[in-house]
Amino acid sequence: MGKNIPKASKDYTQGLKRPRVRRVLSFVLAALGVWGVYVTTWVVAKPRVFVYPSVALDPANPAFTIFVVRNEGYLAIHDVKFECSMKYLKLPGDITIIGLGDYTNRFFDPNQVARVIDPGEEWSELLSLSGMEHNKFENADITVNLLFRPFGFWPFSLYVHKEKHRFETRRGKDGQWHWLPQPINK
């Protein structure tokens, strides 16, 4: 039986298997390459911006706390706008100012805009709660909202990145007020 099969047809059937394996292997390697480029681009281009309270200029009044914006990403961020929003502020004498529950009320100073924050750089600002720095408040639930463009070469303001960072005040045993970070959806 094996004598009737020409030798060329045996080689032809084995030759078909090799190109198929090469095509599948090429496709898998190409897919892994595209995935690697995507992940690398995402890691490099994704903004990593942190906000944290710094020095209390008046430990008896949490409104006089400096907040720091730190760029930990690999690229600079541009046109950074610093806004505040509140859920509530409790003033001395049991006066409570209640904001919108979803932190959509915004207080900002148009001068509180940083043109560029390079990677590893910091920018500091006081809270802009529309004149609250002249009044003492005892308890607060606020967000610091950042709006910025992650790419300086972007020709339009179509892509504005928005981040919220929520903080609440607590009075320490030393009598000073401290800002504590909280999750947004609590």
Q: Which residues pair with 113 in a beta bridge?
A: 81
Which residues make Cβ contacts (< 8 Å) with residue 63, sequence separation at least 6? 126, 127, 129, 132, 133, 135, 136, 137
pLDDT digits (tens, 9 = 90+) for 22-67: 888 889 898 999 898 888 777 777 888 999 998 888 877 788 888 9
Contacts of 151 (CB under 8 A, 6+ apart): 45, 75, 78, 159
Q: Which one, of 150, 171, 175, 166, lies nearest residue 47 by Cα?
A: 150
| Residue 15 pLDDT | 53
Tokens of 38: 């995507």
- Tens digit of pLDDT for each residue in 107-159? 777 777 888 999 999 999 887 665 565 567 778 888 888 888 887 665 655 56
CA 40 to chain centre: 18
Side chain identity, residue 74:
Y
CA 22 distance to own-chain centroid: 43
More confident residue, 41 or 182: 182
pLDDT confidence of 97, banded at 50, 70, 90?
confident
Contact indicator for 126, 53 with CB cutoff of 8 Å = no
Radius of gyration of the chain (CA): 29
Query: What pLDDT score was predicted for residue 20?
Result: 81
> Would the pLDDT of 90 be above 70?
yes
Question: What's the rounded Cα separation, in Å, for the pair 17 and 28?
Answer: 17
Report the SS3 class of residue 11: helix
pLDDT of residue 1: 52
The reported pLDDT for the residue numbered 121 is 94
Is there a contact between 75 and 48 (Cβ–Cβ < 8 Å)? no
Query: Quick check: 12 pLDDT over 80?
Result: no
- Map residue 107 onto helix, strand or coil: strand
With a cut of 60, say whether residue 75 has pLDDT above it.
yes
Where is pLDDT greater, at 178 or 96? 178
pLDDT at position 151 is: 74
Residues 22/27/31/33 CA torsion (nearest 10 deg)? 40
At residue 50, the pLDDT reads 92
- Asked if residue 70 has pLDDT above 90, the reply is yes
Mean pLDDT across 97-107: 75
